[in-house]
Amino acid sequence: MLKGKKIAIIGAGKMGETLVTRLLSTGTLKKEQLYVTAKHDSRISHFKEKFGVKGSTVNADAVRDADIILLCVKPQIAPKVIASIRESINAEQLVISIMAGFTIAQLQKALVLPLPVIRAMPNTPCEIGAGMTVLASGNKTNGDQIRFAEALFGAVGKTMVLDEKYFDAVTGLSASGPAFIYVVIEALAEGGVKCGLPRDVSTALVAQACLGAARMVAETNQHPAILKDHVTTPAGCTIDGLLKLEEGGIRVTMIKAVDEAARKAKVLGAE
């Protein structure tokens, strides 16, 4: 799908490097198809030495010959970055943005030209190929271009295409969600330590329990409440543990965490 396509990654930070790593290691792209930009020469040198990928501190250098332009910068600096490439882009290029809160309408307005654009929201498990990226497309985008984006982010995990109206919620749940899960893992591991387990053992047990539980939800298509009931035997130890979770307000707290992260995502675009 991406054979022969040239990809310019504008703002090669953590996610940019994750994409480069996976795109090359999976054979999705060759190093000659990639070009990155960064604020400092040292970062460009890092990509050249580690991956053999060319780069520049000048954004315009990257986009002139690109088929796909991937914007991986913070939304707060988006206008400045887009202004730096506006004179070097053409209407045949596809622009994909992973900027939280920055809408398709904002992106199209900033670009001026009626380019096809796609908004993408990946998450950090992309680093190990277990990510989830949600995509939304603008009205100038065709099916092939959506498939290009699916192929690009398919190298780092699963993809899903949704209406843009869901994106703040997607950001609060899917993009911020791993951090919330890490807190849960950390807390459960502390519980194991409290009960006498060595910390490394406790952490390994929790990590595998979370991995297994996630796969049960994803692969059985059963509601989490039903799967929970399968573990919860009458008068057993699990029901007592669940009671303590409910006393602590875990449901309300987790819902509020997602809601607050989604609210912040919306504010980022406005800022």
Determine the residue type at 79.
P
Instruction: Report pTM.
Output: 0.91
Under CATH, domain 175-270 is a member of which superfamily? ProC C-terminal domain-like (1.10.3730.10)
Supply 243's token pair: 């009671």
Q: Taking the mean position of all CA atoms in its chain, how far away is CA 252?
A: 25
For the stretch 154-184, pLDDT in tens is 999 999 999 999 999 999 999 999 999 999 9
> How many Cβ atoms are within 10 Å of 38's Cβ, its own excluded?
22
CATH 3.40.50.720 fits 7-171, yes or no: yes
Dist CA 255 CA 241 (whole Å): 20
Determine the residue type at 49.
E
Dist CA 114 CA 141 (whole Å): 10
Task: Report CA dihedral (105, 109, 115, 117) to the nearest 10 degrees.
Answer: -30
- Percentage of the chain surpassing pLDDT 70? 99
DSSP string, 119-140: EEE--GGGGGT-EEEEEEE-TT
Determine the residue type at 11.
G
Average pLDDT, the chain: 93
For the stretch 12-45, pLDDT in tens is 888 899 999 999 999 999 999 999 999 999 999 9
Which of 9, 10, 25 has the alpha carbon at shortest distance from 156?
25
Residue 130's pLDDT is 95
DSSP lists the bridge partners of residue 158 as 132
- Which residues are within 8 A (CB) of 264 and not within 5 positions of it... i.e. 6 or more apart? 172
Dist CA 2 CA 247 (whole Å): 51
For the stretch 109-148, pLDDT in tens is 999 888 899 999 999 999 999 999 999 998 889 999 999 9
Dist CA 171 CA 101 (whole Å): 8
- Which residues are within 8 A (CB) of 35 and not within 5 positions of it... i.e. 6 or more apart? 6, 7, 8, 9, 53, 54, 55, 56, 61, 62, 65, 66
Residue 1's pLDDT is 77
Residue 271's pLDDT is 61
| SS3 assignment for 152-212 | HHHCCEEEEECCHHHHHHHHHHHHCHHHHHHHHHHHHHHHHHHCCCCHHHHHHHHHHHHHH
Segment 208-226 mean pLDDT: 96
What are the residue ranges spanned by the domains of the chain? 7-171, 175-270
